[in-house]
Structure 1
Amino acid sequence: MDASSKDYKVLVIRRIGVVEDDLYAIYRMSSDSWRVLKEEEVQLINNDQRLAFRGSVCVNGVFYWQGLESKLLAFHLDTEVFEFIPSAGQWGNLMALHDGRLASWEWEWDCRDYFNTGGVSLGGAVWVMNGHGGNWTKLFNIAPPGSGLSITRMYGFWTHGKVFVEVHSDTRILYLYDIETGEICELGFEGCPWVFYYEESLLAVSPSP
């Protein structure tokens, strides 16, 4: 939602690999209309075709994607402008905090025995961005070396100091990890889990008939 105009907007990105065929468009619900972004408005993106638009998260009317070379791509719904800002690290996993701030889970790997182990997680930290300028502060460490846990990814926050994580194993399983006690609880989801936060706005979630 664009808070400045109180209008709901949808950003559509279609990347084919050929710059001339890429499409970036904004839908405005108030006018039921589309606006295709002009070439000069997306030149910043087209100059860096390595962008994969991974790790999308929307915080306070700004969409963020994890880019390369320690930078984030941001799109402002109010001004409809793209920009690059510094990220907390190079391979972070972006998340939204409950207080409306942007957070990033940054981890470290030991790949010396990669072919046998697939790499071992050395733990990581959660960083939070102050404002919008790319100024980051470390919030806390998670599963540091010596904890006995090899957490490969953090997916998001739950309540009472717990977070959703994936622990290194033959199958990808979702766990709930208590930051303070170090306790971990398997949630029973296998495969390729992902965590999304739902906030009722445009559509209500109703039970299946």
Structure 2
Amino acid sequence: MSDKHKKSSPYTADRGMPGAFEGETVTRRRFMNVTAQGLGGVAVAAFALPALGFAIGPVFERTKMQWQDIGALGDFNEEDYIPRVFTIVNGIGEAGKTTAYVRLRNPQIDTETEDQYNRVIAISTRCNHLGCPVRFTPAAGKFLCPCHGGVYDFRGLREGGPPVRPLDRFYTRIEDGKVLVGARYSVNSELRRFSPRDPGQPLDGIGQYLYPARFSTPEK
């Protein structure tokens, strides 16, 4: 058999490798390199996998709409917002509560399509810049964020500052003269409904496709 087709020996000593020992097939240097690379991969995975799970977890999060009584229909009017506190996460006390500004729908200014879930308007107090709490200022008729100067108009539409979309809203319905509030949803500048997004995630133009929606199964 020619040297060209002669099978190479698996032993490092036969192949003339420096520092080789008789009977070994992998040099200690190569073994250490492979081991170090393997341990590096494990370390990277230990850091990356939890972060990846945190990032994509909301995509698979499922929520169930729970209706809560926030007062009699007569408690609210079309001209002013009334703050109401209710629970969005059970079992964690005050940390699981949120505030919404609530008023009756006004056909003169609320031009989006009316249905059984928006006869009462319930606007979230979470700014869509970084999530700071906003306050409604009756004298100005606007929602103001004290953190970074976000400004929203009477309907919750962005008017100025860094927020990327209008204030979120909550589903509402009227039952036996009571106003019930349900799950949160996000809206774009035309007040079109989307499943909840996080602060900093726009919903106009290509923005609605860049951020994953939270799968939800609300019982409306």
TM, length-normalised to structure 1: 0.22
Higher strand share: 1
Considering fraction of residues, name the structure with more helix.
2
- Give the TM-score normalised by structure 2: 0.21
Q: Which has the larger radius of gyration?
A: 2
Say which structure, 1 or 2, has more relative contact order (CA 8 Å, 6+ apart).
2
